[in-house]
Structures are given as structure tokens and as C-alpha cells.
Structure 1
């Protein structure tokens, strides 16, 4: 069938937005507007609609459609054919053999990163809008561990909400990167952002997740402003 790009989704953005490259990893993003979602958009763009999405509200349908379109576009040069990750029983994306990836969406922006499994074991991507100052203050105790809260207290008031948002995003990316490897859920208190400057971050696990990923393990992250959004990525390289 002839695919058409849905009216609810803007053009694709292929420009790598982060301060350092991840070799072999592709980024694709697009804007989306749930108010412009047409009931026929899934069929016309040749994106299967899972039953759980069919029962969802238009906002969830639009963000799912936009995210899967980005994933398909990112996968095409890696696989040489169109492919769309399905939804697993745990609601996480199921990627085709030979690749790993991550999808995110929020506040009108959807994006996907994908890379070859020979280079990357897992990828985690997150997008957030800056938390308002008052909400950031309320959520800080849920998102930040004591050492992070101590560092937060030393920041000027104008920077505190951004730091809470960034910590939230990096920990979301960490979860997306490690969940496919450990297959168990973990929460904000399981990790600490120990360094964060110039678009680069370092995260340390504070809890044992499995025999490999134990308390004290550290991973690198990247982050960047992207228009009105904040992006972060945590990538796990393939074993040497």
C-alpha cells in the first residue's frame, strides 16, 4: 500500500541533538498534535494499532503513532527494510533482531534512537519539559536521593527546577537503558546522578539490580536542550 504521512505529525528531524555522537546510533524526531489525529491515520501510514492503543484516548494514540513512525524511519537504514517495534507484555518496545533502541514522547514531541546490537547492548532516551518551580520543589524529595538534594540546596533558585527536571530525565533514560537487561523495575532511589555538566552526566547505581548491574556500577549519560524540551540519553555499549 502507499503510505501517507499523517496530518497530526510534522516532518522528521534527523539532526543529532546531543553534545557527543554515539557511533552508529540514529535519531529521528517529529512534532505531533493530537487534535489533528484522523481515525484513519494508522491505516494510511501503515502502522499497526495494538488493542491497548485502540482503547486509548486520542493523545495516547497520537503519541504512539508519532513514536512508531520515528522508530520506523530510524530503523530503515539499519535493517534495509521498514520495521516497527511491537509492544511486549511489559509494555516495553520489542525491537527487531540485531538492533536496540528507545522511544520517547512528551508535550508534542516524539523521538526514537536506534543502534546496531554489535555496538550497543541497550539505549535509553527521554524527553521532558522543564518542571515549574513549585512542582519541582514538591517532587524533589521523590526524585532525588539525599546526596542529590544536598547539592540541589546549594544552587540558585533559578537553577533548581532545571536540575530536578534533568535528574528526573536522566533517571528515566537509565531505567529505559537497563530494564531490557535486568528485566525488573526499579525507581528513582536506585540511582544517583553523581556528575552533570556541559551536556555530559555520570550516574551510579545505589542498588543491586542483578548479578551484573550492582550498586556502585556507573554509566555515562548525555543531555541537551531541544527547543522547549530537555533530552537525555543513557547508552550501554556492547561487550568488548
Structure 2
């Protein structure tokens, strides 16, 4: 029998994003890296890699919290007891027929899962909201020339953080489907609304199914100075 690790708070199943995704389950928890104990992996029923055991407490707590959320989401989805292990590229290994994504930030982790019959891909990302000064320094690395032209400087921190996060979610959605890495310049945020909805467009071919010009829908919400985004295919 597994129990919640000492570094994690109670799990919460909820949907903080503005538009429900039929068939998807999202579970989150808060975590405190300073509270992780040597037996938290065993307590949670998670087998860590040797590399993870050598990593810092923050990395260990992020991993434990994310995997605990993922297992709870899968249990809620179809009753299975499964903890995603990790590919060599550090992406999660989901069961056959399952699409999912894990994210963790400063003291908060979440996982979202859905059956492959409900969606082709899922990407979830959380980012701390950039202040305007840092956003101005980073925007040239994150935004395409067209995105820079459309940028609303009255909401600079939010706009740059949102573009970064949605592109991260887009990558998490499409990389498992295409096996192709792509970067900030290979996609653009076409539009987003105050209601938390967004549209992205690919600027490069990734596979026969995912081509330049294809558009995907995203959504986002703000919570406690952090931005959570999700892209689904």
C-alpha cells in the first residue's frame, strides 16, 4: 500500500483551466523540497533511478510530486495503478493508449491524462509570471518577428510568459507524436483572449500528419503568480 510522501500536500482533482477537456483528468498538489525524506520514494511506491537519487532535494521532490499526481490521475481515469517511468530524454513513459503530461514549478506539481480515443496529444506547463523587465530581456529569444509585432506592451510580462508556456505545452503535445524536437521559432501564438483561450500555429513541418500552418488550440489560467497552460490535439 502506498501513502502520500512527506513532501507533498493532499492531492486535488480539479480543472482550473477555462474550458473542460472531455475525458481528461487533472490532479495537482503542492510540495516542499525541504520536507522530502529518504523514504519518500518507497512511501509513494516510486522506484527512482540512480541519477535521481544523486540529484538535489528540489529535483527529487519535483519528480515525486509529479509522479504521485500522474498515478492518481490514471487511477481516476480508468482505475489502473501505474507510475510513469522515464525515457532517456526525460519524458514520461505513459501506458499504451494513454496521452498525458506532467508539470512542476515552484512548490506545485500537476499531471493531466486522457485516453488516446479522447485526444491525440496533451501538453501541460506551469511557469512563474515574468515581470516586465525580465520579459523585455527574454522576448527576443521566445517570440518570432510576427509575435513581436503583435505584442501588447501594456501586458508585457503576461504576454511573454504566456507565449513561452504555450510553446512548452505545444512541444509536450507534439513531440511524443512526431519524435521531432522543435524550438520557439518553429511555432507562433496567433491570438489569445482574456478568457484564457489561445490559438497556435506551426511554422515548420514535423511529420506527415503535422505540417507547417497547422493550428492547435490552447488554454491557460493564472493562479498565485503562476501561469498554467494546456495544449491539446
TM range (shorter): over 0.9
CA distance in 2 between partners of 1:199 and 1:14 (Å): 20
TM-score normalised over the length of structure 1: 0.94
SS at match of 1:121: coil
Counterpart selection for 2:171 from 171, 175, 188 = 175
Instruction: Write out per-residue CA displacement over residues 199-225 of structure 1, whole angstroms, 9 at most, x where no aligned residue.
Output: 100000111112221110100001111
* Residue number in structure 2 paired with 1:206: 203
How many residue pairs are counted as aligned between the two chains?
Answer: 232
Where does structure 1 lack aligned partners over 5 or more consecutive residues?
A: none
> What's the RMSD between the two structures over aligned residues?
1.0
Counterpart selection for 2:216 from 216, 219, 239 = 219
Shift of residue 118, structure 1, vs aligned partner:
1.0
Q: Within the alignment, does 1:155 sit opposite 2:153 as a pair?
A: yes
CA distance in 2 between partners of 1:29 and 1:226 (Å): 13
Where does structure 2 lack aligned partners over 5 or more consecutive residues?
A: none
CA distance in 2 between partners of 1:163 and 1:112 (Å): 24
Instruction: Write out per-residue CA displacement over residues 97-148 of structure 1, whole angstroms, 9 at most, x where no aligned residue.
Output: 1211000001111000000111111100000110122211111000000111
Moved over 4 A (4+): none
Shift of residue 54, structure 1, vs aligned partner:
1.4
Shift of residue 155, structure 1, vs aligned partner:
2.8
Shift of residue 4, structure 1, vs aligned partner:
2.1
TM-score normalised over the length of structure 2: 0.97
Instruction: Write out per-residue CA displacement over residues 179-201 of structure 1, whole angstroms, 9 at most, x where no aligned residue.
Output: 00110110000000001002100
Shift of residue 44, structure 1, vs aligned partner:
1.2
* Residue number in structure 1 paired with 2:53: 54
SS at match of 1:8: coil
Instruction: Write out per-residue CA displacement over residues 140-186 of structure 1, whole angstroms, 9 at most, x where no aligned residue.
Output: 0000001111122x432xx1011000000000000000000110110
CA distance in 1 between partners of 2:19 and 2:102 (Å): 19
* Residue number in structure 2 paired with 1:228: 225
Shift of residue 77, structure 1, vs aligned partner:
2.5
